[in-house]
Amino acid sequence: MLNFMSKMAANHIVKAKAKHTASVIFLHGLGDNGYGWSAGFEDIQEPHIKYIFPNAPAMPVTLNGGFMMPSWFDLYSLTPTGKEDEAGIKKAADKLKDLIKEEEKLVPSDRIVIGGFSQGGALSMYTALTWEKRLGGLLVLSSWLPLHKSFPQALKWHSGTPVLQCHGEADPMVPFTFGKMSAELMKSFSSTNHEFKTYPGLGHSSSEQEMLDIKEWIKKILPPKD
115 touches 121 (CB < 8 A) = yes
Beta-strand pair 194-199/163-168: parallel
Domain total of the chain: 1
Can you give the pLDDT at residue 10? Answer: 66
Can you give the pLDDT at residue 11? Answer: 84
CA distance 73 to 108: 28
27 touches 117 (CB < 8 A) = yes
Residues in the chain: 226
Give residues with Cβ within 8 angstroms of 107, minimum separation 6.
20, 21, 22, 23
Can you give the pLDDT at residue 189? Answer: 80
CA distance 168 to 173: 10
Q: Is residue 132 assigned to a domain?
A: yes
For the whole model, what pTM was predicted? 0.93
Q: Is residue 83 assigned to a domain?
A: yes
pLDDT in single tens digits along all 226 residues of the chain: 333 333 334 688 999 999 999 999 999 999 999 998 998 999 999 999 999 999 999 999 999 999 999 999 999 988 878 899 999 999 999 999 999 999 999 999 999 999 999 999 999 999 999 999 999 999 999 999 999 988 888 888 888 899 999 999 999 999 999 999 999 988 888 656 899 999 999 999 999 999 999 999 999 999 998 7
Q: Is residue 2 assigned to a domain?
A: no
Can you give the pLDDT at residue 78? Answer: 82
CA distance 104 to 99: 9
Q: Residues with catalytic annotation?
A: 118, 171, 204
139, β-bridge pairs = 115, 164
Can you give the pLDDT at residue 51? Answer: 97
Residue 123: C-alpha distances to residues 16, 127, 134 (Å): 25, 6, 17
Environment class of 35 (CB within 10 Å of its CB; exposed 0-12, middle 13-18, buried 19+): exposed
CATH of the domain at 156: 3.40.50.1820
Q: Is residue 1 assigned to a domain?
A: no
Q: Is residue 101 assigned to a domain?
A: yes
Q: Is residue 159 assigned to a domain?
A: yes
Q: Is residue 4 assigned to a domain?
A: no
Query: 3-state secondary structure string, the chain?
Result: CHHHHHHHHHEEEECCCCCCCEEEEEECCCCCCHHHHHHHHHCCCCCCEEEEEECCCEEEEHHHCCEEEECCCCECCCCCCCCECHHHHHHHHHHHHHHHHHHHCCCCHHHEEEEEECHHHHHHHHHHHCCCCCCCEEEEECCCCCCHHHCCCCCCCCCCCCEEEEEECCCCCCCHHHHHHHHHHHHCCCCCCEEEEEECCCCCCCCHHHHHHHHHHHHHHCCCCC
Can you give the pLDDT at residue 190? Answer: 64
Can you give the pLDDT at residue 120? Answer: 97
Q: Is residue 146 assigned to a domain?
A: yes
